[in-house]
């Protein structure tokens, strides 16, 4: 029987090769847990969201579940069955598909969604077209980079032979995120009204847009910088493995930005009404939950408010839809039963269903 082939020796820079991989997989699992919580919150708070929004959330979570399974398979190969085997460590495995391919799909989906919302807000097509063109560019180059990495097969050669397409992929992603953040800030700022609560709600969306957009752009630039600057190690894999999770969590953060907690640090807001100009106006109250609810009425937009009480926790969910911008906002608010002692709960009849929710 012939002796098994001798494995390559472990190099002195082994920590620079395995450490970024380990951190990348840990970040990936942590962000997947955060994404699961966000999807569950969305499922509870927005059962009446439009089908398109629900489909985007479901598709995003499915893709991220697949990405997590594939990247975990490679993690087990590197740190389990192939531990100490430099040939296994240098093999691309399924990372060619789980990182550039699935990451490009998620980022392109989120960017197309933002392009549509910007068009609905501005009614001007040129900004959305620019975003869509750059998004499709980074999507195609991401697919090409993944295919090339699969054909090359080893990490030690991937960086040398795919750096041009990687620049277009990650650079285009960062530029697209920056354009989206700037456009959303501009058009949302123009949508502010003279009502304090409405302006606060719009300011909240602006803050979330800036935070999520800058986070995604920053990590895309960091991934690109590490990829180009350090070609002898795997530093770039630490942000790269979890990059798609940042985009999916940012997308869900925008969806769930409509959720508010009554009685929390941001104030006590319990009433919703609507004016004929499709602007939702919210008024605070120091009394009980049912004492200040203003029954909504039909106008150019659509607004409904209803409350439920379950086991000592009362929930108020208000749906606000602006027909001009196509944006639907829903706030889910929670109050403990201790706040409801003085004033009994009085449900508000849904204006279109004809029944009390």
CATH of the domain at 144: 1.20.1070
184 and 233 part of one domain? yes
Q: How far apart are CA 102 and CA 282, in angstroms?
A: 41
Compute, in degrees rounded to 10, the torsion defined by CA atoms 219, 222, 223, 228. 160
Q: In this structure, are 199 and 95 located in the same domain? A: yes
Phi/psi at 297 (5° precision): -135, 160
In-domain check, residue 79: yes
Same domain for 215 and 310, yes or no, is no
Looking at residue 20, its pLDDT comes to 92
Domains: count for the chain: 2
Same domain (yes/no): 34, 79: yes
How open is the CA angle 280-283-289, to the nearest 5 degrees?
A: 115
Q: Is residue 43 part of a domain?
A: yes
- Does some domain include residue 350? no
> Do 277 and 243 share a structural domain?
no
Is 353 among the domain residues? no
- Range(s) of the domain holding residue 274: 269-340
Contact 58, 104 (CB under 8 A): no
- What angle (nearest 5°) sits at the alpha carbon of residue 143, between those of residues 138 and 144? 95
> Is the pTM value of this prediction over 0.85?
no
Looking at the structure, do residues 27 and 155 belong to the same domain, yes or no?
yes
Residues 206 and 321 in one domain: no
Q: Is residue 354 part of a domain?
A: no
- Evaluate whether residue 162 is within a structural domain: yes
Q: Are residues 241 and 330 in the same domain?
A: no
- Does residue 102 contact residue 145 with C-beta atoms inside 8 Å? no
The answer on 124 and 246 residing in a single domain is yes
For the chain, where are the E strands, in sequence order? Answer: 269-274, 280-284, 302-310, 313-322, 327-336
Task: Return the sign of the alpha-carbon dihedral for residues 109, 112, 113, 114.
Answer: positive
Range 293-296, long-range pairs (CB < 8 A, 24+ positions): 293/346, 293/348, 295/348, 295/349, 295/351, 296/272, 296/348, 296/351
Tokens representing 100 are 């550039």
Do 317 and 230 fall into the same domain?
Answer: no
Give the pLDDT of residue 32: 97
Residue 307 and residue 225 share a domain: no
14 — alpha (psi -120 to 50), left (phi > 0) or beta? Answer: alpha
* Helix locations, 86-195, DSSP H: 86-90, 95-96, 102-122, 125-152, 155-161, 163-190
175 inside domain: yes
Give residues with Cβ within 8 angstroms of 292, minimum separation 6.
270, 271, 283, 284, 285
Evaluate whether residue 2 is within a structural domain. Answer: no
Residues 198 and 307 in one domain: no
Spell out the per-residue pLDDT of the chain, length 357, in tens: 455 567 778 888 888 889 999 999 999 999 999 999 999 999 999 999 999 899 999 999 999 999 999 999 999 999 998 888 888 888 899 999 999 999 999 999 989 988 988 888 888 889 999 999 999 999 999 999 999 999 998 888 888 888 889 889 989 998 998 898 888 888 877 766 666 666 676 777 777 877 787 888 889 889 888 988 887 788 989 999 999 999 999 999 988 988 876 666 655 443 333 333 333 333 333 333 333 333 333 333 334 344 444 443 344 444 445 444 444 444 444 444 344 444 444 444 444 444 444
């Amino acid at each position: 029987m012939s002796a098994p082939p001798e494995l390559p020796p472990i190099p002195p820079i082994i920590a620079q090769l395995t450490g970024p991989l380990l951190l990348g997989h840990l970040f990936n699992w942590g962000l997947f847990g955060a994404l699961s919580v966000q999807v569950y919150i969305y499922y509870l708070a927005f059962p009446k969201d439009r089908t398109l929004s629900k489909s985007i959330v479901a598709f995003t979570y499915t893709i991220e579940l697949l990405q997590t399974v594939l990247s975990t398979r490679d993690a087990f190969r590197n740190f389990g069955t192939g531990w100490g085997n430099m040939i296994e460590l240098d093999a691309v495995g399924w990372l060619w598909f789980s990182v550039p391919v699935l990451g490009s799909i998620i980022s392109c989906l989120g960017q197309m969604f933002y392009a549509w919302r910007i068009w609905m807000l501005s009614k001007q097509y040129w900004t959305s077209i620019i975003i869509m063109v750059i998004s499709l560019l980074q999507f195609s180059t991401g697919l090409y980079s993944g295919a090339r990495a699969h054909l090359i097969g080893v990490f030690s050669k991937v960086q040398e032979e795919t750096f041009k397409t990687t620049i277009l992929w990650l650079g285009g992603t960062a530029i697209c995120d920056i354009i989206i953040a700037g456009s959303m800030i501009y058009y949302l700022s123009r949508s502010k009204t003279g009502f304090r609560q409405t302006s606060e709600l719009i300011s909240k969306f602006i803050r979330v847009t800036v935070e999520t957009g800058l986070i995604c752009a920053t990590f895309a630039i960091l991934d690109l910088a590490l990829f180009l600057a350090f070609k002898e190690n795997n530093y770039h894999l630490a942000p790269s493995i979890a990059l798609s999770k940042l985009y999916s969590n940012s997308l869900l953060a925008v969806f769930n930005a409509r959720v508010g907690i009554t009685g929390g640090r941001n104030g006590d807001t319990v009433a919703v009404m609507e004016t004929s100009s499709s602007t939702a106006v919210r008024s605070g109250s120091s009394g009980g939950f049912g004492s200040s609810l203003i029954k909504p009425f039909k106008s150019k937009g659509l607004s409904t408010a209803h409350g439920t009480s379950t086991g000592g926790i009362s929930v108020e969910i208000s749906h606000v839809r602006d027909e001009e911008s196509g944006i639907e906002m829903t706030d889910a608010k929670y109050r403990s039963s201790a706040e409801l002692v003085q004033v009994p709960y009085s449900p508000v009849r849904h204006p279109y269903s004809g029944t009390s929710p």
